[in-house]
Structure 1
Amino acid sequence: MKKPQWLDRLENRWQVNTVRAILILVVFACTGFTVFFLKAPILNLIVPESERTWVFTLTYYILIFPIYNIILLIYGFIFGQFQFFWAFEKRMFRRMTGRK
């Protein structure tokens, strides 16, 4: 069976083999689901749903960013891809801060 073209592109972009590319995608998926499932219980402890405004939502997304990154590193460690995600985080923060 032939690999999908999108998987070849990811392998080339990330400089990894097929198994590692799939593991990396699994880490991203697990992190996203974890943040999704944690959102409602955490927010309900802080503010009732009826009292949430767009400002609160914006604040949530700003505050969840570091938590998402920590969870990403944890799952990266669990799936044996910590080095990839540590380098990924450093590149992302360099781009955000404009440092080279």
Structure 2
Amino acid sequence: MRVLMGKMIDKMKKRWGVETLGGVLLILFIFSITGMTALYVRKFVFGWLGFDAETPLWIELIAWVLVVFPSYQILFLIYGFLLGQFEFVWNFEKKSLHRIKSLFVRE
């Protein structure tokens, strides 16, 4: 188990261009708090909009795309900046958004 974890950490370090275990843990922490905060944003906005169990799924999906997805991206950049990992986060965002764009636009 320990060897497997070590290999996973080494793989993340290489892929993300991070030199220390602390750097990997910080990046994982940024992902975690961004996701948790985005869930709170979703809960607040959906409550403010009056969504409940009766709200059709298609409306919730549209709202999710318009609210949660952009809020996650912005929160990710903010947390990355505040925790000193803005360069990594910015590059990660660019790659992710490019992949999403390539699903819809052929280059």
TM-score strictly above 0.5: yes
One-letter code aligned to 1:88:
F
Which ranges in structure 2 are unaligned for 5 or more consecutive residues? none
Which ranges in structure 1 are unaligned for 5 or more consecutive residues? none
Partner of residue 76 from structure 2, selected from 72, 77, 93: 72
Identity between Structure 1 and Structure 2 (%): 33
One-letter code aligned to 2:54:
E
Cα displacement (A) at 1:58: 1.1
What does residue 11 of structure 1 align with?
A: 13
In structure 2, the CA distance between the partners of 1:12 and 1:72, relative to structure 1 (3 Å rule), is same
The number of residue pairs the alignment matches comes to: 100
C-alpha separation in 2, matches of 1:65 and 1:14? 22
- TM-score by length of structure 1 reads 0.86
C-alpha separation in 1, matches of 2:89 and 2:24? 12
C-alpha separation in 2, matches of 1:28 and 1:96? 18
RMSD of equivalent CA atoms: 2.1
Query: Structure 1 segments of 4 or more deviating over 6 A?
Result: none
Partner of residue 90 from structure 1, selected from 87, 94, 98: 94
What does residue 58 of structure 1 align with?
A: 61
C-alpha separation in 2, matches of 1:48 and 1:67? 18
